[in-house]
Structure 1
Amino acid sequence: MDRAPGLSIRLKLTLSYAGFLMLAGALLLAVVWVFLLRYVPEDARRAPGGGPNRAELLSAFGPKAAWALAFLLMFGLAGGWILAGRMLAPLTRITNATRMAANGSLSHRIQLEGRTDEFRELADAFDTMLARLEAHNAEQQRFAANASHELRTPLAITQTLLDVARNDPSRDTGELVALLHTVNTRAINLTEALLLLSRADQRSFTREHVDLSLTAEEAIETLLPLAEKRGLTIEITGDMAPTLGSRTLLQQMTTNLVHNAIVHNLPEQGIVRVTTSVHPKSVALTVENTGEKLTPQLVSTLVEPFQRGTERIRSDHAGVGLGLAIVKSIAQAHDGTLTLTPRPAGGLCVTVQLPRRS
């Protein structure tokens, strides 16, 4: 927005300080003048040894009062300019940091010294915002790079298969079609996951009444054949967990959690536990699974997009690496939280807390 240039804050504060000092000085001189008038007659003749009359007092007091006001004006302007500069010095640092951030430099921090005051709180809040923006920007750059790599992989495989078919017309087309179908399915799944992630981040959905216990039952019913194929046992317990949100997104969130718990489990005799609970202001969905022991450092990275462990790559249900990233985005879009905790005996415990429907 283009705006007409105006006076600087420092100049405005200087004029305010000087004006206030002039007003205080004028009031003080007026009080002195009124006080003197009470003891000086208006036009009485000077008696031997007596004092001056009002006219003589005015001729003597007036010039000195004018000089005093002039001195107060100069002192107010100079002192106000210095004081305003010292008061606004932190604001200047904040402004410079803002300009640097606007030019793309998010690594700069103000780090204002001194005790806590309004400027210190503003600087600290700005530093916190810059840190979050820098982390978000780095995360977005990693996401873009990973997404480009993931999308490029199926396209490169498709191009290779087509080149092979073109150079070898005698090759079995049925096998080629099956491979192309698999690669294309993976590309479609990745694209749909990216769209779902974008939709959750934008919060472009209608909120309705949803019971997390029902979404958990539907997810388990859908994924039960996969669990039976892997020899896993699924246990579900808990109460009704009412919340507000998108039924489709919350169903996808629950399905992703149960699917991850099934896929990343023990080779045999593994267990998946799904629990819903109700708290005074929130409801919780907890999904636990047995498996290999995980370190807290590894668990902290599992919600990053395209994060995969070794077992994920070897799995025939490896997915696209966006399962927990989608869960985190859906939880945040519903004003909830996602907590991942490694189980001491091995495996993972994932808890999603959402606001309780009143």
Structure 2
Amino acid sequence: MDRARGLSARLKLTLSYVGFLMVAGTLLLAAVGVFLLGYQRAVPLPRPVVIAPPGRALIRAFAPTAAVVLGLLLVFGFLGGWLLAGRMLAPLTRVTDAARKAANASLSHRIRLEGRKDEFRELADAFDTMLARLEAHVAEQRRFAANASHELRTPLSITQTLLEVARDDPDRDTDELVARLALVNARAIELTEALLMLSRAEQRTFSREPVDLSLLAEEATETLLPLAERRGLTIATRGDICPAEGSSALLLQLTTNLVHNAIAHNLPEGKVWVTTSVHPASAVLVVENTGEPLAAELVSTLTEPFQRGTERIHSDQAGFGLGLAIVKSITCAHDGTLTLTPRPTGGLRVAVRLPAAPRPDLD
């Protein structure tokens, strides 16, 4: 934004110091003059031969000295005020320099203002925290864009290969070609929908309404029960009414992703537990499954986009590595917390804690 150049903050502070000092000095000299006049009236001195009245003569004698003092105060106040203002505004200059560097896409710079805590230090620390989060967010977005481009390129490359083979082999079975193209296209659509869901959750473009997590857990379980039965898995659900507040569609997607993830990454004839519980200030959804032991280092990366967990069990039901990333985004969009913990006997425990829905006023 173009602005007309005005006085600097340092000059404004200096002028304010000088103005305050001059007013204080003027009041002080005026008080001294009044005191001298009062003192002369109370204690009469031998009357010299003067033309002017004693009071006026005293004022004339005192005025040059007062003017010199005020002049010295003006010079001292300006120099001292300029130095003090510069010293006070030095931290703000460092913050401004850091902001300019950040505007030029240099997000790795930090102010790291030394000294004890005050308003400028709090501002610098807050700015450093903002830069750190912004740098991490930009790096995550770049990594996400690269992974998304790679994932979207895969079905397009497969489609191109199938079409080229069909063009070079006119006698190829078209039904098989159409079936494979349909499968690849369906996977591409699923990936695109997952990306859109992730974007919607991150932008928080949804309205909030009362939601019962226990009902969402039952719906997700019933939907995925045939998949669990085909793999020989059992799903156990328990929990009382668990009121929360948010988007019913997004929270259902969150629950479905967790249950699907617990089914897809499980042992043959394993188990899945879905539990809901309500607390004074939160509603909690927990999904656990059996499986191979997981390293804590691996678990900490599972919510990153396109992170499939290479050490986990894979199946034809494995997705694109966006399931837990979408869960994390939906949880954050609802001001909740997501906790992933490896189970001691193998498998994963995922806990989603959301703010409880406000209780109705009974008055």
Q: TM-score higher than 0.5 here? A: yes
Partner Cα distance (2:207, 2:74) in 1? 63
Partner of 2:353: 353
Partner of 2:156: 155
Partner Cα distance (2:122, 2:76) in 1? 32
Partner of 2:6: 6
Matching of residue 166 in structure 1 with residue 186 in structure 2: no
Unpaired segments ≥5 residues, structure 1: none
Note if contact 2:264-2:314 (Cα within 8 Å) is conserved in structure 1.
no
Q: How does 1:251-290 map to 2 (within 5 A)?
A: 251-266=252-267, 268-290=268-290
SS in 2 for 1:272: strand
Q: How does 1:104-183 map to 2 (within 5 A)?
A: 104-183=105-184
> Cα offset for 1:48?
7.0
> Cα offset for 1:47?
3.2
> Cα offset for 1:4?
1.8
SS in 1 for 2:288: strand
Partner Cα distance (1:206, 1:41) in 2? 82
Partner Cα distance (2:147, 2:45) in 1? 101
Partner Cα distance (2:309, 2:17) in 1? 65
Q: Match of 2:355, as an amino acid?
A: P
Partner Cα distance (1:313, 1:230) in 2? 13
Q: Match of 2:151, as an amino acid?
A: E
Note if contact 1:286-1:349 (Cα within 8 Å) is conserved in structure 2.
yes
Note the alpha carbon deviations across 1:299-323, whole angstroms, 9 max, x for none.
1110001111236684201112110
Partner of 1:315: 315
Unpaired segments ≥5 residues, structure 2: 359-363
Q: Match of 2:85, as an amino acid?
A: A
Matching of residue 54 in structure 1 with residue 61 in structure 2: no
Partner of 2:203: 202
Q: Match of 1:238, as an amino acid?
A: G
Return structure 1 stretches of 4+ with deviation > 6 angstroms: none
Partner of 2:216: 215
Partner of 2:35: 35
Partner of 1:324: 324
Note if contact 1:41-1:53 (Cα within 8 Å) is conserved in structure 2.
no
Partner Cα distance (1:287, 1:33) in 2? 85
Note the alpha carbon deviations across 1:285-339, whole angstroms, 9 max, x for none.
0000111111111111100011112366842011121100111111111111111
Partner of 1:71: 72
Partner of 2:291: 291
Note the alpha carbon deviations across 1:247-297, whole angstroms, 9 max, x for none.
11111110000000011011x231100000001011000000111111111
Q: How does 1:220-239 map to 2 (within 5 A)?
A: 220-239=221-240
Note the alpha carbon deviations across 1:211-246, whole angstroms, 9 max, x for none.
000000011101111111111111111111111111
Partner of 2:300: 300
Partner Cα distance (1:48, 1:175) in 2? 129
> Cα offset for 1:45?
8.8
Partner of 2:361: none
Note if contact 1:45-1:53 (Cα within 8 Å) is conserved in structure 2.
no
> Cα offset for 1:41?
4.4
Partner Cα distance (1:73, 1:311) in 2? 76
Q: Match of 2:273, as an amino acid?
A: R
Note if contact 1:256-1:327 (Cα within 8 Å) is conserved in structure 2.
yes
Note the alpha carbon deviations across 1:29-74, whole angstroms, 9 max, x for none.
01100000112249x894379xx92232122110010000000000
SS in 2 for 1:309: coil
Note the alpha carbon deviations across 1:84-116, whole angstroms, 9 max, x for none.
000000000000000000110000000001111
- What is the RMSD computed on CA atoms of the aligned residues? 1.8
Partner Cα distance (1:263, 1:303) in 2? 16
Note if contact 1:331-1:352 (Cα within 8 Å) is conserved in structure 2.
yes
* CA pair 253-57 structure 1, distance change in 2 beyond 3 A: same
TM-score, normalised on structure 1? 0.96
Partner Cα distance (2:242, 2:129) in 1? 35
Q: Match of 1:109, as an amino acid?
A: R
SS in 2 for 1:5: coil
SS in 1 for 2:335: coil
Partner Cα distance (2:25, 2:167) in 1? 97
Partner Cα distance (1:276, 1:288) in 2? 12
Partner Cα distance (1:126, 1:313) in 2? 43
Partner Cα distance (2:259, 2:33) in 1? 88
Partner of 1:101: 102
Partner of 1:91: 92
Note if contact 2:220-2:252 (Cα within 8 Å) is conserved in structure 1.
yes
Partner Cα distance (1:315, 1:264) in 2? 8
Count residues in correspondence.
Answer: 355
* CA pair 318-311 structure 1, distance change in 2 beyond 3 A: farther
